[in-house]
Amino acid sequence: MEPFSFACSSSLDFPVSIRIINLEGDEVTCPFSTLLDRADLRHTGSVQSAHSDLQVTVQLWAGSKPWTVPVQTAYKAFRTERRWNEWLTLPMDYSTLPSNAQLAITLWDLAPAGADGLAGPIVPFGGTTLRLFDGDNQLQKGRQKCRVHRHRAADGYNNSTTPSTPDARDSRRRGGGGGNQAPVSKDADELERMEKLFKKHEMGEMPRVDWLDQLVFRGFEKRGVEAARSSLKTSQRQRQRDAQHDAQAAVASSSLSRFVLNVELPRFDFPVVFADHEYPPPALFSDRPLSGSGSGSHSALVPRPPADVPFGPGINGPDRDGLGSGPGPGPGPGLDLGLGLGPGPGPGPGPGDDRLIRVFDPEVAAKDNPAETKHRRLVRSQHRHGVLDKDLKPNAAVRDELATIMAYSPTHVLLPEEKDLVWKFRYHLTREKKALTKFVKSVNWADAAESKQAVQVLARWTDMDVDDALELLGPSFDHSAVRAFAVNRLRKADDHELLLYLLQLVQALRYEHIVATDDGDDGDDDDDDDNDNPNHDNDNPNQASDSSSLARFLIARAADSFLLCNYFYWYLMVECDDDRSQAKGPGPAPPSVFSKVAFDLMKALDGRADGREYRRTLKRQAEWVATLSRLSVEVKGLNKSIAGRTEHVKHFLADGRNELVTIDPPLPLPLDPTVLITGAVPDDAVVFKSSLHPIKVAFRTRDPHAPAYAVLFKTGDDLRQDQLVIQIISLMDALLQRENLDLKLSPYKILATSTTAGLSQFVPSTTFSALAHRHPRAPALAYLRANNPDAAGPLGLRKDALDTFLKSCAGYCVVTYLLGVGDRHLDNLLLAPDGRFFHADFGFILGRDPKPFAPAVKLSREMVEAMGGPASPHYRQFKSYAALAFGALRKNSHLVLNLFALMVDANIPDIRLEPDKAVAKVQDRFDLDVPEADAVRKLDRVIEDNLHAMVPVVMDKIHELVQAFRA
């Protein structure tokens, strides 16, 4: 079978367009008898002149409905022929077209009296309807001849009465000439066949032979002229016969199309086939907030059970309308009140129900049942049950049901019965910290009386964990009391713990009720010493953060600690830059939530003596980053070799005018503010061979005995996804160490300074690809032996180095498995001299991978060889570490899921693709719906399957060949 190349219509993201070329055909002179009887035809333009002025309108239709407003051609005066040669563009993309889309094309003539239902002195000269997809669901292209139906506007309905091509009945009439229809020349079929061949020839689908093509063209033109003359004479004779009967018949005869409109559709290199995705079956929804936390802008549609819709008497036919005898499931004998139309339990209709069909109505359960709403209000009434609920104690069965509810994941949606149960025992659950989020989800915050009770109960609740506090700061909880309660829990966290969640807390600011202000800015373009600036007035009460407890908390903690202030400032700057890059239209972008919070941060720092020093330091950091960005852009624009680019960087760093070779006073490094840098080391600068040409720069620190701190800086790449992955790895490392499980993860630091620039820590290490070239046999093991030799140790190296390698391999295998890290190859697997193994370059996460059949866990042959092989006890120890790490992280899965939930609306590339599935993808890797032992066994199978799989080995070889070819 020969290959067939084609494109999908869903990939054509440009508007529908059509070129109106010209109108072919001659108007038969209308008899004076007809003009006397038809006053509306006496003064139309086409009667007065054979080439009268016409305008063409085009409108897109689908499913018997108009999809766009009409577009029309510009005015043009005609002399010898009606020719427009004008392209019209419709406000609809090809990617959104259904398969039954068609263009309704109408030619409008001038008439003083106009026509009924039309505004202005116009009447339809004729119309035609052109389908955009043919019978094979291919998009039509190139020139098209459209039959014009005289005196009728184009009909865009599915069963159009103005098709662009003759239907089967017209074909039969054309061949037989039956009835009173005017027969067409017998050469018409041959002419039509030749036109199709000419279209293929024009599209390049047929070979071109110049001398033969010229002969065929001339012969076709001669035959076409003869056929037109013959058709015109036949039509005139038919019209004269019709005129002898009555004027109405004459008009009907004139409506027979003798005009053809030539149009042109865009051409494509390949056939375009209609494509669409399969839509899920419709479901009934309830328009209620996801958590029941309010009726604000963060509400979501929650699936609810189908409503029980009863049918009235008589709807089930004469034999089952409640009048007959026999048992029935309803209140009356034989009355069917279920959704089925038959007398039995089956869902299908029975005999006699052919006249009845089922119609899906999404409004059946779109709103709450009034009876259920009244019942809920009565049950939750403080006056009726408030006092009694304080003394309620659940029995054993209810305790088990409550325990099941408390174990639900953060993404689980509570059923109405479960919400009522949690509300009923709310006072008993105040001692359970894990029950707080479930209680908040069970409250109807739109009910003032119920929300008032809930706030009172919140004050009695025991302290919750940080993961629950982060969940309450998500988009599903918009009640100010709930968010303030979560912030109060965060106040108990120290700076290092708060730093683990700071990236997500900044994202949570977008869900805060922050009041708009007109004086917000980004806080990085003003003079710190200019206290006369009115924008620095500390007495201004209209700060944006006054309406946000989270913003006030973060600003206050940042003002107390430069460590938090440093990262908080740069996280805000990146979001402000992202808002500016996404702003559309001319003029400055409106102030965003993050720019308002950044402005309030600067104002808070101005009010403190040490805060002003913080602000000056942040300004110096911004200037330092801007200088490195300018250097990176210059290096990328140079037309030099890597050596030449490196020399340029060294000269730039050594130039004292750039203030990089000496930094006085020492500057806290934005990547790690605990490190104070005093100047760059120009001789250590390196430009890497890559499309973005990242620059490695080493900086001296204030500690003279400490080694230089090397960083990688690059522009043109968004590092926010890598920053998120490194932050999650750092969090997981902290969680494992709390469980007394140190897996030597040691993630490197990374910081995005804008949406297109950032810097990362350079860790001395070697890629597995380089090791494979240096040591053909067991490269990783040979590298470890060379840096950690011990003849008496296991595998000929020191025991601590081997243990570090086993632990770090196990940790990163589990972490990358949970995060779905993709595009793993030997160039982004690195090994440090002390045995620490780690991953780099997280451009694909959440299961995405550019290579087919990618493994869920990257465990290369070189890694297993360094453990002594799959049969060694060290390999079994590695799998034991992996099982322990997976179990420990699984216990804290709610924290990881809540962190990802707060990043859903962040502009992270792999989260942005499917934001509604990002949290679910991570949750699936935790396997929370099965016991821990089963989840650990599944991970063990995944590791074993990857070890024996051949596809990863082949992909690594292909990647190696591609890199060698590029070099």
| Cα–Cα distance measured from residue 395 to residue 541, given in angstroms and rounded to the nearest whole number | 53
For residue 797, the domain's CATH number is 1.10.1070.11
782 and 708 share one domain: no
683 and 774 share one domain: no
Which segment of 462-476, 514-528, 709-723, 944-958 scores lowest on mean pLDDT?
514-528
In a domain, 157, yes or no: yes
In a domain, 284, yes or no: no
Structure tokens at 752: 């995005």
For residue 673, the domain's CATH number is 3.30.1010.10
How do residues 881-898 score in pLDDT, each as one tens digit? 999 999 999 999 999 999
Rounded to 5, what percent of the chain is helix, strand, coil?
45, 15, 40
User: Do the bridges between strand 272-273 and strand 7-8 make them parallel or antiparallel, or are there none, so unpaired?
Assistant: parallel
- β-partners of residue 123 are 109
How do residues 378-413 score in pLDDT, each as one tens digit? 777 755 555 667 778 889 999 999 999 998 988 888
- What pLDDT is attached to residue 529? 42
| Cα–Cα distance measured from residue 526 to residue 286, given in angstroms and rounded to the nearest whole number | 50
- What pLDDT is attached to residue 341? 38
How do residues 662-709 score in pLDDT, each as one tens digit? 999 999 999 999 999 999 999 999 998 888 889 999 999 998 888 999
E strands along 706-811, which residues?
709-715, 750-754, 757-761, 766-767
User: Do the bridges between strand 71-72 and strand 55-62 make them parallel or antiparallel, or are there none, so unpaired?
Assistant: antiparallel
Residue 712 in 3-state DSSP? strand
In a domain, 308, yes or no: no
Q: Which carries the bigger pLDDT value, residue 643 or residue 364?
A: 643
| CB-based contact 198:220 (threshold 8 Å) | yes
626 and 507 share one domain: no
151 and 86 share one domain: yes
How do residues 245-296 score in pLDDT, each as one tens digit? 544 544 444 444 478 999 999 988 888 999 887 766 655 444 444 444 444 4
| Cα–Cα distance measured from residue 280 to residue 273, given in angstroms and rounded to the nearest whole number | 22
Q: How many residues does the chain have?
A: 967
Residue 806 in this model has a pLDDT that exceeds 60: yes
Residue 63's Cα: distance from chain center in Å? 28
891 and 943 share one domain: yes
In a domain, 64, yes or no: yes
In a domain, 685, yes or no: yes
457 and 495 share one domain: yes
Preceding amide of 665 cis, omega within 30: yes
859 and 925 share one domain: yes
Choosing from 211, 239, 273, the residue where a domain stops is: 273
In a domain, 41, yes or no: yes
595 and 634 share one domain: no
Structure tokens at 533: 């600036």
Confidence class of residue 301 from pLDDT cuts 50, 70 and 90? very low
Structure tokens at 23: 């109108």
In a domain, 683, yes or no: yes
Residue with tokens 């982060």: 470
- What pLDDT is attached to residue 327? 42
432 and 571 share one domain: yes
Residue type for position 557: R
- What pLDDT is attached to residue 353? 46
For residue 164, the domain's CATH number is 2.60.40.150
Q: Please count the structural domains in the chain.
A: 4
- What pLDDT is attached to residue 295? 40
709 and 846 share one domain: no
Per-residue pLDDT, averaged over 474-488, amounts to: 89
832 and 953 share one domain: yes
606 and 622 share one domain: no
How do residues 353-368 score in pLDDT, each as one tens digit? 455 666 656 555 556 6
Fill in the DSSP letter of residue 384.
Answer: I
- What pLDDT is attached to residue 318? 44
Which segment of 197-211, 326-340, 342-356, 388-402 scores lowest on mean pLDDT?
326-340
| Cα–Cα distance measured from residue 362 to residue 365, given in angstroms and rounded to the nearest whole number | 7
What residues make up the domain containing 647?
614-716
> What is the overall mean pLDDT for the chain?
80
